[in-house]
Structure 1
Amino acid sequence: MDKFAASFTSFGKTVSSSVTPFAARSQQWIREQTGNAGEKTELPHDYVELETRIDALKATHQKLLAATSQYANEAYDYPPNIKESFQDLGKGISEKVNLLSKSQNLSDAQAAMVAPPSAKPQPKTFSHAIARASLAGSQNITMATPQGSTEPDPLAQGLEKVAIAQEKVGEARLEQDEQIQGKFLAGWSTTLNQNIKAADKARTAVQNARLSLDAAKGRAAAGGKHEESYSEPQRRAIEQAEDVFVEKVDEATSVMRNVLDTPEPLRNLVELMKAQAEFHARAAEILEDVAKNIADIQVEQEDGWRKAREG
């Protein structure tokens, strides 16, 4: 035999050794799907229960991640009907209020509202959108107030306070989102894409080992032969396949138990709730404070209106 023929024969043996087990599993799977296979090797009851729990854990992670992944999208609550210009998304509310406070006349105020934008555009959140609309409204009313008026317009005052408060709420929401991304989304994604994926891989190995075992049994029983009439090579093939099957079941059982027993998903869930609680507490504090301040302006305006009518 020349070198080429020898190499080709060696290559053929290598391909055969790698393809034949796959082909045997594939044929066994097809026979099972078409109802032409013999009795399937049963998986241990405890193992099947673990598989069911892993499936439930996987579905839970996928569903909650699909919902909470919105926290990685800054504009998840930004109203789609709002049309804001590049200038609107320029300087922040606090910056604009500071510039407006230094204005000496209407020209200065107009310049403050259209001041060159910051390097980073303003966030597109619902609260930031309310803040920008409120400040624009405050400035429109102020600029429409007759010059020489000694008293600031109460509504303009209230809108400015709303603008500042809503910007603070928007910033608190962004802080919440950052915490959730780092302490919840990252952890649950790791569990799904690494831990549960490892369990799925181990389960696939069990399925392949089971198919190989049943394929070996099927070949030995071909022609209606009973177990006592199997040849020695056939017995060894079945025993080897059984050893691999038991080994893969043990390995997958260990992997699945580790995935199910880890407290990491619950830790991540705690962080999700904490981040939301901190945000809502901070938002409530900001909004309650601004509501009291605006109520004071309202009372003062009503007193003035009442005195003017009585006079």
Structure 2
Amino acid sequence: MDRIQAFGKSFTAAIVPTVNRTQQMMKEQFGNVDDKTKLPDNYLELEKRVDALKQVHQKMLQVTSQYTHEAYDYPTNLRESFNDLGRTVTEKVSLLSTANSASEAAAAMTAPPSAKPQPKTFNHAIARASLASSQVLKTADHDGAKDDPLAGALEKYAIAEEKVGEARLAQDADVQARFLAGWSTTLNTQIQFATRARRGVESARLNLDATKAKYKNSGAFSFPGQGRDNLGEDEHLSEEARAEIEAKEDELLAQTEEAVGVMKNVLDTPEPLRNLAELIAAQLEYHKKAYEIMSELAPVVDQLQVEQEANYRKSREGA
């Protein structure tokens, strides 16, 4: 019997505060409370700033999470075959360089894969299309196509685009490791810690207001201006009621101080800005490599174009 009574008291002690908090919250939601305890202005300001930081993380992660999807810029209407994705452009060009016939060239283009399927990025897709186009020209006129400037330019362009695609994949890996991981940790750990601390404050505040309301409704005391006197709300409280309210006030103060510390720590951490700098560095490195690759290719293709123009004019003059 003693065990049952002890369990009953323990259960009551655990469930009653929850019920009281829920009732108090419902009253506030329906506008039936006039004396809700006001939290300090500096605390409310920190809440606004943490909410803003959370919104920033959610908005940025919603967009930048695309870096985790290899095919985020891959054409949706493109349908490439297993053979298209079998070998890298560089491998195919190497095989083509040793081909002595059209059949050997075709075999080089359809050689079985040496590793996993090739990446589905826009740059890789352009590279594969350029190499395939180069081979179409060479196949159409195999005897003279080795000197076809457009076929040669397309092959060089294919190699360059594949290099750019690899640089893009390296960028994506860096962004995932140096930006996404950090911002996800801040959102799901540090900001979540602040959220839990704020819930503790709200719970303590509801406990306090529910306790005050209990004694107010029971007639244990009256608030100023409600008909008894103007001596203050504590004047008509019993010692037991006053002690209970003071305990709830102390709990609210402790929870508030803890939450302030946690929120300040979240707001002061340099990690988000450091991670953003890493994102920019990864993007800069990618664009730098892409610029270098295309800077090497452009004069080569320009020279091919100049030579073709000259040959075209000579052929027109001799006609």
Residue type of the alignment partner of 1:143: T
**RMSD (Å) for aligned C-alpha atoms:** 1.2
SS at match of 2:169: helix
Q: Which runs of 4+ in 1 moved over 4 A?
A: none
SS at match of 2:3: helix
Gaps of 5+ in 2: 223-232
Deviations 1:214-265 (A, max 9, x none): 1111111114532311111111110000000000000000000000001110
Question: Which of 191, 198, 222 pairs up with 1:196?
Answer: 191
Question: Which of 262, 272, 281 pairs up with 2:269?
Answer: 262
TM-score, normalising length: structure 1: 0.96
* CA apart distance, 1:152: 1.6
Distance 1:252 1:16 in 2: 28
Structure 1's 144 and 43: CA in aligned 2 closer, same or farther, altered over 3 A? same
* Deviates most, 223-232 or 91-100: 223-232
Question: Which of 276, 281, 286 pairs up with 1:274?
Answer: 281
Q: Provide the residue aligned with 2:69 in structure 1.
A: 73
Distance 2:146 2:316 in 1: 18
* CA apart distance, 1:6: 2.9
Question: Which of 207, 232, 237 pairs up with 2:202?
Answer: 207
Structure 1's 143 and 8: CA in aligned 2 closer, same or farther, altered over 3 A? same
Question: Which of 161, 166, 171 pairs up with 2:161?
Answer: 166
Distance 1:38 1:140 in 2: 81
Distance 1:71 1:146 in 2: 42
* CA apart distance, 1:95: 0.2
TM-score, normalising length: structure 2: 0.94
Asked if 1 retains the 8 angstrom alpha-carbon contact of 2:160 and 2:297, the reply is yes
* CA apart distance, 1:151: 5.3
* CA apart distance, 1:100: 0.2
* CA apart distance, 1:8: 2.3
Q: Provide the residue aligned with 1:250 in structure 2.
A: 257
Q: Provide the residue aligned with 2:128 in structure 1.
A: 132
Asked if 2 retains the 8 angstrom alpha-carbon contact of 1:221 and 1:230, the reply is no
Q: Provide the residue aligned with 1:98 in structure 2.
A: 94
SS at match of 2:297: helix
SS at match of 2:83: coil
Asked if 2 retains the 8 angstrom alpha-carbon contact of 1:209 and 1:244, the reply is yes
Q: Provide the residue aligned with 1:52 in structure 2.
A: 48
Q: How does 1:26-65 map to 2 (within 5 A)?
A: 26-65=22-61
Deviations 1:259-289 (A, max 9, x none): 0001110000000111111111111111122
Q: How does 1:220-259 map to 2 (within 5 A)?
A: 220-223=215-218, 225-226=221-222, 227=233, 228-259=235-266
Deviations 1:161-199 (A, max 9, x none): 110000000000000000000000000000000000000
Distance 1:13 1:203 in 2: 29
SS at match of 1:221: helix
1:287 aligns with 2:294: yes
Distance 1:152 1:38 in 2: 89
SS at match of 2:147: coil
Q: Provide the residue aligned with 1:108 in structure 2.
A: 104
Q: Provide the residue aligned with 1:302 in structure 2.
A: 309
Distance 1:53 1:255 in 2: 13
SS at match of 1:40: coil
Structure 1's 27 and 175: CA in aligned 2 closer, same or farther, altered over 3 A? same
Distance 2:28 2:306 in 1: 81
SS at match of 1:30: helix
How many aligned residue pairs are there?
A: 306
Distance 2:142 2:11 in 1: 92
Asked if 2 retains the 8 angstrom alpha-carbon contact of 1:74 and 1:174, the reply is yes
Q: Provide the residue aligned with 2:15 in structure 1.
A: 19
* CA apart distance, 1:150: 7.9
Deviations 1:111-157 (A, max 9, x none): 1000001221100000000000000000011011153x385211100
